[in-house]
Each structure stands twice: as C-alpha cells, then as structure tokens.
Amino acid sequence: MDDLTGLQLIAHGTSWIDRAIDIITIHGLQGYDIWEHRTLGVGDSSKTVFWVRDFLPKDFPSARIFSYHYLSTAFRDGQAITRAADKLLNKLKNLQADNIEYRESKSVGGLILQCAFCKAFDKKADTALNEIVTATLGIIFLRRPHPSSELDISVSRIIAASQTTMSIMVDTQFMAQVLARFASVSQYNPPWKVVHCYEELPLPGTCFRAVNPSQEESWDLPQLSLYSHHFDLCRFRSQDDVSYIKVLQSLRNITSGLGSSVADEIEVQTSLSSVEHEVLESLETEDTSANIRDASP
C-alpha cells in the first residue's frame, strides 16, 4: 500500500446519502505493512490479507472506511507528532460533520490521535473542532503503551525486539505527557467510548509483554486481550480469527447506541462457530482482561 499523507478511502459504504459511520484507521511507525497477513501459497496463489480492506466492509457495509497515512520515518521528536496530529485534525474537518465517526489506531498512531483529540477537546469553542469531538463515537487503541512509571521500559523493550532497521528516536517524555493528558480527559465524560487492546503473548524471543492491562485509565468499555504478541496485534488472518471477532464485537458495543436503522446494517458473519459465538456473547457483558495469560517475568 502506498505511503500517502492524508486520508485514503478504502470503502465507500452502501449509501452516499445516508451513511451511518466513518471508520478511520491510523498506523504506527511501520505503516500498514504489519496490519497485513500474507497467506501461504505457491507462486501467484499467495496473497496479502488486509482486514481493514477485506473484512470490515463486509461487517460494516454502510460505513465509509478510511486509512490515515503519514510519513512515520520522519519522526524525531514531539514536534513531528504534533504536526501529524494537526494534519489529522484538518483532514477530519473535511469529513461531513453529521457522520458518526469511529477511530482505530496503534502505537504512535494512537499518540497522534490522542494529541489531536486533546487539542480538539481543549479548543471546543472552535466550531469545527467541537464537531470532531461530538461526532466521534468511539476509539480502539491497538498496541499503544499506557501512561505509567514503566513507559520507558515498555518503549525500550519494543525497540529492542523490533526487527526493523529504521533508526527511530522516541521522545518518551513527550509521549508520557500526551498519554497522561488524554487519560485525564475521561473525568470530563467525553462523548466517545474507548477500548484498549493488549497482547496475551510475550514479545518474540522474550518472556515479557510490551503492553499490559492499564491500571490507571478508566473508560466505559473493558480492556481487550488479544491472543498475539505485540508486533502481530494488528494482523488478523480471517474473519473467523477470534482476535478479529473481539475487535469486531467492541465495534458493535461502541455502536450499540445507534438507531435501529443503522444497527440493522451492522452485521456479523453468520458462519461463525459455536465457540466464536460464545466469544461474542461473553464480550457483551464481561471484562475479559481478568482472564489474561500472564506473560510477564
């Protein structure tokens, strides 16, 4: 996928006149490559599965689906993240204000989103920024570290375990400030719901996870454990992948307050196994974080 700056439309939705939702994904430092799963095959029979393109349009047929792109290799400090956040806000201003919007982001993409939303929340007197705040229905964070005293450790573990050859300087002090500011927004009862995802498996070649359940943030929906290690957390093999089903159910929980005409268009595949149906049903009422396999040292 081309690394273009700005919003790229992936799915138009079933109706341009009566759209229900805009879904926007934001990648991290390594782009969308680590969101893709390459199927095994011989020669031309192998293909790349990108769940945002291949699964979500089927499960949310009425939604417009976008991916947000930015030049992640140019990141060197907090100013670069702030610039990317400002560009994101400008793109969001151009979307129709009456659409119900949902954001999904990971790692540095989550930091950009939080930086942008803190600015929008602080400047709600600006009509366009206030519309971004009020039109956003929910946010799901994949692979994003939490504000804690162990943030430096988490970041250093991720960098050490990463196989990328890019030289990335991470300003953890700036990161901590943005994470703490966004977490503090919850006390003002913002209109959006937030879901944090974390991995059940340790980083490759280690005995610890990069992202653990947060003990410091409080939002409407339970934290979500996905059976994966940190670098595969955004990669789903099929619509029957249990981790994808969990994320899908979180989307359904976020959109549960919509009118019946919208909810009728938000469907889950009917070919799920009985075990997968149990996963969906349990997520509607239970906090699965209590059942996490502890991979910490």
Tens digit of pLDDT for each residue in 232-247? 878 888 899 999 999 9
**Residue 86, domain member (yes or no):** yes
- Distance, in Å, from the CA atom of 240 to the CA atom of 237, rounded to the nearest integer, reads 8
Whole-number pLDDT of residue 296: 38
Q: Is the pLDDT of residue 12 over 80?
A: yes
| pLDDT tens digits for range 40-55 | 554 555 678 889 999 9
Span 17-41, pLDDT tens digits: 445 688 999 887 665 655 666 665 5
Cα 213 to Cα 16, 111, 174, 224, 226: the distances in Å are: 39, 17, 21, 8, 11
Q: Does any domain span residue 296?
A: no
Rounded to 5 degrees, φ, ψ at 78 are: -65, -30
Give me the DSSP letters along 138-159: EEEEESPPPSSTTHHHHHHHHH
Question: Which has more pLDDT, 290 or 54?
Answer: 54
Q: Is residue 134 domain-resident?
A: yes
Tell me which of 191-195, 248-252, 282-286 is least confident: 282-286
In a domain, 171, yes or no: yes
The CATH number of the domain holding residue 201 is 3.40.50
Q: Which domain holds residue 129?
A: 6-291
Classify burial at 77, counting beta carbons within 10 Å of its beta carbon; exposed 0-12, middle 13-18, buried 19 or more.
Answer: exposed
How many distinct structural domains can be found in the chain?
1
More confident residue, 162 or 81: 81
Q: Where are the beta strands (DSSP E) in 143-293?
A: 193-199, 224-226
pLDDT of res. 189: 87
Domain assignment present for 31: yes
Q: Would 282 be classed as within a structural domain?
A: yes
Average pLDDT on 75-103 reads 77
* 1 located within any domain: no
Tell me, yes or no, whether 297 lies in a domain. Answer: no
**Tokens, residue 270:** 């009917």
